[in-house]
Structure 1
Amino acid sequence: GKKKVNTGNYSHLVSFKIDALQTPAIPLSFPRTWQSFHDFNLEIEVPKNSSTITWLKDISYVESLIRAPNDVQLSGVIDYNDLTVENGSLVQFDSDRRLWQLLFAPQCIGQHKITVFAKHHEESKPKCALQFDLNVTHLKLPIKFPTIYGTFKNRKGRIYEPLNGILKTGTTISIHCLIPGASDVNLTIDSIWANKEGYEDPVFKRTITVGSKKLTIYAKYGEGSSYQAFITYLVQ
């Protein structure tokens, strides 16, 4: 220490010795955050105290869980070599746990960046909130998520199955998702409307045979309104 009036170097004042009896197996680290992370009052539930989302063996995607106020909407992207992975993210609201589930599916091994954005519902442009690292060490079964639309995000929809957005032609699959508050829900198979069935607010669940081109789920809100695209799956 030194007096304010003195110039020159500080002199040695006191030192401490720390005996660390127990240290964490994984060192603590924190993701990169922007001011908007604090402005939107976000809380990271998974991963805790880590700048990296862990990649495990035999998985196709990773998960982050983030808590946000009711009027805040989240979105996210996964980038590889500064290029966004197409249909590589699925951000949806978990109404049971009252938080956002963010899923990210890489298409190759290597270092990736995961960026999370936030905005208020009435805002048009989201802001960067935080960023994680992801090191993909092996990848057996890459997937692409379904395409979701603005209605899905605004109505806080959720997909239980299938999470893979690429379906196999001719197969029989179970569709299970949440579509809160709709007056009607239906789907098209290769642009042909199916029979209405399987929706009881907020759950849409039915079994269908996959066509040859695409499958789109639509929701209608209010009498006399038109159907709005909710989720689209492609077919191979």
Structure 2
Amino acid sequence: MSRFPFGGGVSDWTFATVDGINDIDNLAQVVGDIAITFWTAEVGGTQHTDLIGPDGQPTTTITSTPDGVVGGRAVGQIPPLQGPDGVKRMWAQAATGPRALMVTTDPGADDLGLILPPLSVPGTATAPATGRARLYNDTAATLLVAAVRASVGSPPTIDTIIDVNRNGTSIFSTPGNRPVIAAGDYTSGKVVPLDLVLLAPEDYLTADIDTGAGWTHLVVQVLATRAA
């Protein structure tokens, strides 16, 4: 694998909100010299500590540019860095603020991806139901789950919630992010997992039906890209 670059872009800055400026509350103001940590998820998750800073040295945190221009960068800009080996998406947290998703700046890092063979449930099924058919990663590469879509042959009469599991554990750490086929609809639409979900060789996926009724012929398709 290899490390991918992050930061240094037009959207990579640290801000603070200020109240009472020209009678405006929550006015965003650029601030510098803020320590930034990087995580595997928007909430919870694990901190990425294997980083390479703008000086080329290993580090666990990155600091936004302090007052004055440093290395050609303005105050508050997040300098270029390298993430852990093979990681293309990280959740950045400035001090104790909310986290924001950062994606690698390498334009060649994301390929078009491939749609894996579908996880399907023919006929009419009831909920809840635990998926038993396993879809294995039989490639020699680690794959990144880029998106999930659930579709049906005839629409449900009530909202249908689908879960996708990796090795028996949901890929959606926040249950509210699971694919939902609304009553009367045929598809959940493209759902992008907010967590970094990697499929190592021999890992497998299954699909559960958490809630729903009235639909027929469920198909759950997974879009995957190479992780590196």
- The TM tier, using the shorter chain, reads under 0.3
TM-score by length of 2: 0.27
TM-score by length of 1: 0.26
Which protein has the larger Cα radius of gyration, Structure 1 or Structure 2?
1
The structure whose residues are more often strand, as a share, is: 1
